[in-house]
Structure 1
Amino acid sequence: MACVKFPWELMEEILYRVPSLSLSRFKTVSKEWNTLLNDKTFIKKHLALVRPQFRLWTNSKVYSVDVSLNDDPNIELRELPLDIPYVIDHRTTNFLPCNDLLFCASWWSNKAVVWNPSLRQTRLIKSGEEHFRFGGIGYDSGRPGKGYHIFGHSHSRLSVNGNTSKFIKRFYITKFESNAWKCIDDVSLGENSIGGDSLDNNNVSLNGNLYWTTNSYDTDEYLIQSFDFSKEIFKIFCVLPRKKDSSDIPVLSVFRGDRLSVLHKFKGTNNMEIWVTKNKINESVKAVVWMMFMTVSIPIYKDSKPSYFINDIYEKRLVMCCSDENGKACVYIVKDQARKKIQLGFHVSEFSHCFYDPSLIPIPSETSGQKISNS
């Protein structure tokens, strides 16, 4: 049978729609294909067309959940190699997307990993501090190449007047091109809400900055705090639409790639509200305006935190990965008043899933002793 040669333009259109996990293997087909798949224009268009995914971790396995938002929404569930080094227990590891990379940090370890699941690349990040917790990843938006920065904090006890003591939380950052950690601030616990528990498990990275939810010690308001990696400063970003007395811990997500969304679940009910920021998030924003995006009722497991993304390109849709009321992993797809539940069939813990946009963007090259592993 004669080999059929497709026009190059048609081949490009086909490759734009191939999932990243499969596309990465095609780099070895030919020099021409390798050049195309590394081209920035191709990567940008591929990112615009690729279907969003969730990553799910069980005790021994990791899965990708590929979501298709056609007229009959469905998912594709695939088991992936569990090849993240240095992360011992996936049940106690937080996963934070940043620029289509995943930042993986264990609660009980002074090590973290930056991971591109599509390329199977990893990079180990270490801290020499005791009682250290990684907070997230970002970058200096003013620098060419967007050099990545890692953020974390440690607790220590400081003696006062020789007989009393108080806890001090110290904040640190390190740059990808350096192994050195820099202390940026000292904050006394109880005197400042910066770096509350939500910093470690309810944060998002947007435009290089890190955002997380917390609550005011003086009022019942939920707040978004942020850390600007370019200026190395903390600030109160805005107040959230719902107060603490009516809502469980709010869940942040990125909307349209340049805005924020927040999911509020009302205490003691299945009712949820999703709000989005009206304008793009950037330095020119003086006042954050929130708009209601959707209200929905979804039964989820008590005290569990869902992962979600929203889409309004053609019509408003919500896709949520969570534990249902029986503790089983599932995906809900909501459009207007229609709600579709797709059961995944295995137990999943609170922090073992996250939303992720697959990408062919490689982890920055090895410098100053930081090693990149290609599994």
Structure 2
Amino acid sequence: MKLPCELVEEILYRVPPLSLLRCKTVCKQWNTLLNHLSLVRPQLLIWTGPKIYSVGVNLKDDPKIDIRELPVDNPYLKNNNYPIPYNFLPCDGLLFCVPRWGNINRVVVWSPWLRQTRLIVPQENCFTFGGIGYDSGKPEKGYKVFGYRFLDRKLNNGKFQVYRRLAIYKFETNEWKYIDAMNEDETSQTGIGISFDKNVSLNGNLYWIAYNVKTGEYLIRYFDFSKETIKLFCVLPWKDDSSDIPILSAYRRERFTVLKQFSETNKIEIWVTENKISGDGANVVWMEFMTVSIPFDKDFCPSYFIDNNTYGKSLVMCCKDEDQNACIYVVKGNASTKIPIGFDVYEVCQRFYVPSLIPVP
């Protein structure tokens, strides 16, 4: 008896992630399904000092967390036998990892579940990594790395013009491509540019929040990996007010969500896009998802994800409470649960991501 594809997907969703590796060899259909299936609820990855932890969150009636230390057995992720603290960007379950400190000019693409890594070294110094993505217009994903550096160019009138030199690395050819973005206006109009620890990979493109100092507006800009250029996606529906810089995240791997935290109060607003993300965002509509009040340390940038399933509207946020203790808040309706993490997460990278069985390209 052949089961419907939807039922197979539901069954596999309930299989422990690591056990799914053995299922990939059953048939070509299962292999394809497991490579693209969102297998688990987002995990929180915490990179602190010499250790890396994956934190799962159970959203049932009594919310709980499951903390597991991840093995780091690859020399690319170590220095003097200890893991190097990294900023990281999730993309299709892969982690795009950039060292947080030191003169280490490199990036590592890592699959924690498959324990695969790939080292990428830029050809230029003073290089800023932007993130990872792919050409969404092609049937097979051609992964690329995006980065940039600022340069000066002397004009005929004797003045200097600052411009951005974009760098694109293609995995399939192992080659770098450079583009001088002479007409890029972001540096003169926005006080906030690409912030690696707050950007988001969605549908192959790289998105981040910027701020226009002339208009007081928050924007979402993005790097289009298909056309290899920086574009404006949309203007957020509020101007600079008493809130801090909004935090961008993905919702259901197809829409955007933004978290607004207010400096003078414990108020948090969560907004989501009404429809799936496609095109240039000219007609994007934002709607308020939920408003909550959580006492937390405003100097610590939180990570979060939201859901709206059988448990109702839910918010899971990793932050520090008012006593500087690391914790996870789980908010469902009017109920809020604070769960201590049990170790310090000061000056580390922490993000929610969805693991997958996609191999490192």
Q: TM-score, normalised by structure 2?
A: 0.86
Range moving further from structure 2, 351-360 or 127-136: 351-360
Sort the Cα spacing of 1:329 and 1:36 in 2 relative to 1 into closer, same or farther, 3 A: farther
Sort the Cα spacing of 1:287 and 1:229 in 2 relative to 1 into closer, same or farther, 3 A: same
The CA deviation at 1:351 is 4.7
Give the conservation status (yes or no) of the 8 Å contact 1:87–1:112: no
Sort the Cα spacing of 1:328 and 1:231 in 2 relative to 1 into closer, same or farther, 3 A: same
Equivalent of 1:56, from 46, 68, 72?
46
Equivalent of 2:285, from 276, 284, 289?
289
Sort the Cα spacing of 1:141 and 1:239 in 2 relative to 1 into closer, same or farther, 3 A: same
The residue that corresponds to 1:357 in the other structure is 354
Sort the Cα spacing of 1:91 and 1:249 in 2 relative to 1 into closer, same or farther, 3 A: farther
The CA deviation at 1:208 is 0.7
Letter aligned with residue 116 of structure 1: S
Q: What SS class does the counterpart of residue 316 from structure 1 fall into?
A: strand
Q: RMSD in angstroms over aligned alpha carbons?
A: 2.9
The residue that corresponds to 1:306 in the other structure is 302
Task: Quote the Cα distance in structure 2 between the aligned partners of 1:12 and 1:339.
Answer: 32
Task: Quote the Cα distance in structure 2 between the aligned partners of 1:235 and 1:189.
Answer: 10
Range moving further from structure 2, 183-192 or 146-155: 183-192
Task: Quote the Cα distance in structure 2 between the aligned partners of 1:189 and 1:326.
Answer: 38
Letter aligned with residue 77 of structure 1: I
Give the conservation status (yes or no) of the 8 Å contact 1:226–1:234: yes
Alignment pair present for 1:41 and 2:33: yes
Alignment pair present for 1:81 and 2:71: yes
Alignment pair present for 1:224 and 2:220: yes
Give the conservation status (yes or no) of the 8 Å contact 2:268–2:291: yes
The CA deviation at 1:176 is 0.9
The CA deviation at 1:335 is 0.4
Q: What SS class does the counterpart of residue 86 from structure 1 fall into?
A: helix
- Listed one character per residue, the Cα deviations across residues 121-164 of structure 1 (whole Å, up to 9, x for unaligned) are 11111101111111111110011211111101113344567986
Q: Percent identity?
A: 52
The residue that corresponds to 1:240 in the other structure is 236
Range moving further from structure 2, 109-118 or 205-214: 109-118
Letter aligned with residue 125 of structure 2: E
Task: Quote the Cα distance in structure 1 between the aligned partners of 2:280 and 2:316.
Answer: 30
Q: What SS class does the counterpart of residue 196 from structure 2 fall into?
A: helix
Give the conservation status (yes or no) of the 8 Å contact 1:36–1:42: no
Give the conservation status (yes or no) of the 8 Å contact 1:100–1:356: yes
Task: Quote the Cα distance in structure 2 between the aligned partners of 1:180 and 1:362.
Answer: 20
Give the conservation status (yes or no) of the 8 Å contact 2:245–2:260: yes
Give the conservation status (yes or no) of the 8 Å contact 2:110–2:116: yes
Equivalent of 1:129, from 112, 117, 124?
124
Give the conservation status (yes or no) of the 8 Å contact 2:111–2:117: yes
- Listed as ranges, the gaps of 5+ residues in structure 1 are 1-9, 365-375
Alignment pair present for 1:318 and 2:312: no
Letter aligned with residue 52 of structure 1: P
Sort the Cα spacing of 1:12 and 1:285 in 2 relative to 1 into closer, same or farther, 3 A: closer
- Listed one character per residue, the Cα deviations across residues 209-235 of structure 1 (whole Å, up to 9, x for unaligned) are 111001002111111001111112222
Task: Quote the Cα distance in structure 1 between the aligned partners of 2:8 and 2:286.
Answer: 42
Task: Quote the Cα distance in structure 2 between the aligned partners of 1:274 and 1:153.
Answer: 31
Task: Quote the Cα distance in structure 1 between the aligned partners of 2:141 and 2:318.
Answer: 30
The residue that corresponds to 2:4 in the other structure is none
Q: What SS class does the counterpart of residue 318 from structure 1 fall into?
A: strand
Range moving further from structure 2, 87-96 or 348-357: 87-96
Alignment pair present for 1:18 and 2:18: no
Q: Please give the residue correspondences for 1:1-375 in structure 2 after superposition, counting only pairs within 5 Å.
A: 16-21=13-18, 23-24=20-21, 27=22, 34-35=25-26, 39-45=31-37, 47-48=38-39, 50-83=40-73, 85-87=75-77, 93-107=86-100, 109-159=104-154, 165=160, 167-184=162-179, 185-186=181-182, 187=184, 190-193=187-190, 196-283=192-279, 286-314=282-310, 315-364=312-361
The CA deviation at 1:13 is 7.3
Give the conservation status (yes or no) of the 8 Å contact 2:263–2:298: no
Letter aligned with residue 35 of structure 1: V
Range moving further from structure 2, 271-280 or 173-182: 173-182
The residue that corresponds to 1:368 in the other structure is none
